[in-house]
Amino acid sequence: MLFGQKVHPLNFEYGDSLTVAEDHARLDGRHFTAMVRCETIADFGLRLRFDNGNVADKRQYSDAVLPQYREGRPVPPRRGFNALFRSELGSVELGASWLRIALANGARLSTTREGIGVNGEKLILSFDVSEVAGFYGFGERTKRLNKSGDRMDFWNVDVVAVFPHTYTRDDYDPAYASIPLAILKTGANYTGLFFDNPERAVIDVEQAQPGQMIYQSMGGNTELYVLAGPTLRDVVRHFAALTGKAEVPPLWSIGYHQCRWGYETEADFVALKQDFAKFGIPVSAFWYDIDYMDGYRVFTWDEVDFPAPGAFNAGLKESGIRTVTIIDPGVKLEPGYSIYDEGKAREVFCKTQSGRDYVGRVWPGDTVFPDFTLEHTRAWWAEAMAKYIRDSAIDGVWLDMNDPATGYSAAEDMLFDGGRVPHAKYHNQYAHFMARAGVEAFDRLDRNARPFQLTRSACAGTQRYAALWTGDNASSWGHLRMSIPCTLNLGLSGFAFNGPDVGGFMGHTTAELLVRWYQAGFLFPFFRNHSMLDSKPQEPWEFGPRTLQAIRAAIRTRYRLLPLLYTCFFQHYLTGDPVLRPLLYEYEGAAFENLDDQFLLGDSLLAAPIVHGDGQGREIVIRGARRQLRYVTLPPGWWFDLNRGEWIEGGRTFEYAAALEETPLFARDGAVIPWYEGPLHNDPGELDQIELHLFLKERPGRFFYFVDDRRSRDYREGRYNTALITADSGYRAIRVNVMESGQYPTGTVGFRPVLYGRSGEWQAVVVTNGESRQSTLQPATRDWLCKSLPVLA
């Protein structure tokens, strides 16, 4: 399959007549007839169904949209010279070869004059984007945050297999996940376009033609959702409402994870555990890559290296360390291997046109692939996986190679539903249905426990079932830089829980790169160091005491900030807001449209990590210490510099010099940041004693904190509290009010204020659920980056 070819609009035919019927408008060309229907979806979107007469199979195969939104409210067209679909959300005017959208909030979007075309099964939609300044979303992508000038392919691939020599570049396309969502920024108004078609598609944003954004599907019918703004937050929330949100994850899964392809035996993990303890670094989970298996057979353990995995993993858990194992979909084709035999007997594998089971070649050699689109396959897989999870006493699973990677054989030969459904209908959804089957496995074990799955591939909606990491990156500065816009765009595309391999997977990392990657990554939603077999080891202590000190500081700060991260995940579950956000999520202005080496965690903490080094960036030496220079853009208002402990006025861009131990980090005026100050353990525990870090200069503080049991799914039935926290400061006095409401017992969490950026003695009144406590407060500043921790050898 070739990637990177241009879409040529001259290969399409454009309609020359329009007919308006009762419930649709019809476009006719010489070689096609297309019916267009319009519906409203709840109160946030319009859906345009393009029903191309050349598409024989008209069924919708996409599982992206939640069932409750699959039926919309039809909007009948009005007859006239053109067709006019008018609803309370806005109107769509359709000519024979073009359309114009006018949303009630004032947003306008049109195709070009020859804007709707057909070529066989293919559909082309060319939008006039000459007024659009920013293009965001698009799922998992390389390059910059703003996709103007990019052409993106929506076809999941095993990147390294397709681009063996270009992995160190940052411009390969496609990647592992396909989410065809375009969020357009025109002035201060955002509009989302979600092209729901699970087959391969291409979106060209001003590469073929400046001023045009061209969508082209390769087959099947497309349903176009127009998601109304006006704000970016509105569009992102609507997309999350439409395709689903991530459940609230188990607390341990948002801690720090240690992984490496190359940990092979129990002894390796014992040594790892000892090292983490010795160096004073908390770790939430150890990850088993493919070597734990017996000959790479899924759901097995190598009996020599892991004689009693259940007992071993249970032992790790007693030290607070969870375990996660890799699971590949490919089942070794080997009569006598029980999973193969069972699957064969139950007819669960994908077929070829010849009627045989489709065979690829992955780690175990010849492999067959479960057809997860079938309910009976998912049930079979869930049963086997549940047994395996229980017997192995693992806590989470890592779904890899589900692009699907088929190695030696062309993936296109893999058919679904007993050979009846062509590959293209489910290719991009293979990982999605595998993840769905995985959640069924966890549900079989305990419906009320929170599952944890990490997946490599995904499509729109997979966030309902799994977190995502961005695949096989490289240990290079370019890939560190790329990881920020990539995670931000994933967050705007519904995937809040994601992150890269910290330190880089392929190639050899350096001490400086590793430190800077941790400093960028410790606030990412998913935080895991992972590296490839035979690459230079990159555990936190591998590069000597100074590197260790800086990395340890970042990981420890992650654990201190778990209450904030957890709040962000909870907020995502309730609203769809991403955990990590580009600045333009919270601030309007051209200054933020292309800003992608900075980000916000929630709405109050701003990180501007150092993403150059090893002689590449602008370096200066101050009092003998090397520092990296970078530009930092702070939105208007006051910001507290957490390195230097001082207030800085925003609304400007300035230079910042950071030594290796420093990463530019700022809290906005009015921020209330929940912080865990107790002893650090691998298992983060209950987080029931929280400090409220108050950053009050000119603005009062306001924050919502969520209280629940942190482990069950009871919150889905409303068993959680929302604590509204407000904080005001007067003359040498602060007043903090915490008011919990909801269906969870109140008062299970204790809050203590810590005041930043002030001096002298202060009177503090803390009113918790109506009960008032007075104290005297010395303004303090916690050592966020733990610079005062002793350096360990």
Rounded to a whole number of angstroms, the minimum distance from the CB of residue 366 to ligand GLC is 18
CB of 261 or CB of 526, closer to ligand GLC: 261
Q: Tokens representing 23?
A: 């419930």
Q: With respect to ligand GLC, which residue has the nearer C-beta, 318 or 534?
A: 534
**Phi-psi map region of 195: left, alpha, beta (phi>0 left; psi -120 to 50 alpha):** beta
Best CA proximity match to 257, nearest among 483, 39, 438, 452: 452
* Nearer Cβ to ligand GLC (138/296): 296
Q: How far is the CB of 473 from ligand GLC (least distance, A)?
A: 9
Considering the complex, state which of residue 290 and residue 480 has its C-beta at the smaller distance from ligand GLC: 290
* Residue 611: both structure tokens together: 């993403």
**Distances 761 to 261, 607, 690, 766 between C-alpha atoms, Å:** 53, 30, 22, 16
- The answer to whether the beta carbons of residues 370 and 417 sit under 8 Å apart is no
Least Å from the CB of residue 261 to ligand GLC: 4
Q: Residue 305: what residue type?
A: D
Angle of CA points 61, 62, 66, to nearest 5°: 125
Tell me which residue has tokens 């900030």: 561
CB 538, CB 514: distance < 8 Å: yes
* DSSP annotation string for 107-159: -EEEEEEEEEEEETTEEEEEEE-TT--EEEE-SS-SS-SS-TT-EEEE----H
What three-state secondary structure class fits 32? Answer: coil
| DSSP H stretches of helix in 449-503 | 477-492
Torsion of CA 62, 68, 70, 73, to 10 degrees: -160
Q: What span, in angstroms and rounded, lies between the C-alpha atoms of 581 and 598?
A: 9
CA distance linking residue 475 with residue 517, whole number of Å: 9
Q: Smallest distance from the beta carbon of 398 to ligand GLC, in angstroms?
A: 8
Q: Which residues contact 49 (CB under 8 A, 6 or more apart)?
A: 35, 36, 37, 38, 39, 221, 223, 224
Nearer to ligand GLC, 207 or 473 (CB): 473
Compute the least distance from the CB of residue 403 to ligand GLC, in Å. 10
Is the CB of residue 412 less than 8 Å from the CB of residue 430? no
Cα 539 to Cα 406, 441, 535, 542, 613, distances in angstroms: 31, 32, 12, 6, 19
Least distance to ligand GLC from the beta carbon of 405, Å?
A: 8
Nearer to ligand GLC, 206 or 400 (CB): 400
Cα(9)–Cα(116) distance, integer angstroms? 10
Q: Which is nearer to ligand GLC, 204 or 264 (CB)?
A: 264
| CB-based contact 264:305 (threshold 8 Å) | yes
Minimum CB distance to ligand GLC, residue 587 (Å): 35
Residue 694 to residue 172: CA distance in whole angstroms: 43
What is the DSSP code (8-state) at residue 330? P
Burial 672-710, CB ≥16 within 10 A → b, else e: bbbbbeeeeebbbbebeebbbbbbbbebebebebbbbeb
CB closer to ligand GLC, 326 vs 671: 326
Count the helix, strand and coil residues of the chain and give each as a percent rounded to the nearest 5. Answer: 20, 35, 45
H or E element, residue 435: helix 430-445
Question: CB 365 → ligand GLC: shortest distance, Å?
Answer: 15
- DSSP string spanning 179-226? --EEEEEETTEEEEEEEE--S-EEEEESSSSTTEEEEEESSS-EEEEE
Q: How far is the CB of 243 from ligand GLC (least distance, A)?
A: 24
Q: Which residue is nearest to ligand GLC (CB)?
A: 261
Rounded Cα–Cα distance for residues 61 and 219 (Å): 12
Compute how many other C-beta atoms are within 10 angstroms of the C-beta atom of residue 94. 26
- Closest distance of CB 576 from ligand GLC, Å: 28
The least distance separating ligand GLC from the CB of residue 289, rounded to whole angstroms, comes to 5
CB of 500 to ligand GLC, least distance (A): 11
* CA–CA distance, 793 with 791 (Å, rounded to integer): 7
Count of CB atoms situated within 10 Å of the CB of 413: 16
> How far apart are CB 288 and ligand GLC at their closest, in Å?
10
Smallest distance from ligand GLC to CB 260, Å: 8
Residue 34 or 474 having the CB closest to ligand GLC: 474
Residue 488 corresponds to which tokens in the numbers above? 């931000």
Q: Would you say 189 or 457 has its CB closer to ligand GLC? A: 457
For residue 611, the minimal CB distance to ligand GLC (Å) is: 22
Closest to ligand GLC by CB, 217 vs 473, is 473
CB-nearer residue toward ligand GLC: 234 or 289: 289
Give contact residues for ligand GLC (rule: CB under 6 A): 261, 289-290, 326, 400, 456, 471-472, 530
Nearer to ligand GLC, 239 or 263 (CB): 263
Q: Which of 3, 18, 466 is closest to 253 using CA atoms?
A: 466
Helices (H), 319-419: 338-345, 375-392
Q: Tell me which residue of 724, 705, 729 sits closest to 777, measured CA to CA.
A: 729
Nearer to ligand GLC, 187 or 295 (CB): 295
Q: Which is nearer to ligand GLC, 186 or 475 (CB)?
A: 475
CB of 741 to ligand GLC, least distance (A): 43
- Please say which residue, 330 or 491, places its beta carbon nearer to ligand GLC: 330
Nearest distance from residue 327's CB to ligand GLC, in Å?
Answer: 10
Task: Give min distance, CB of 401 to ligand GLC, in A.
Answer: 6
Extract the tokens encoding 242: 């439409």
Identity of the residue, 290 or 754, whose beta carbon is nearer to ligand GLC in the bound complex: 290
- For residues 200 and 530, which CB has a smaller minimum distance to ligand GLC in the complex? 530
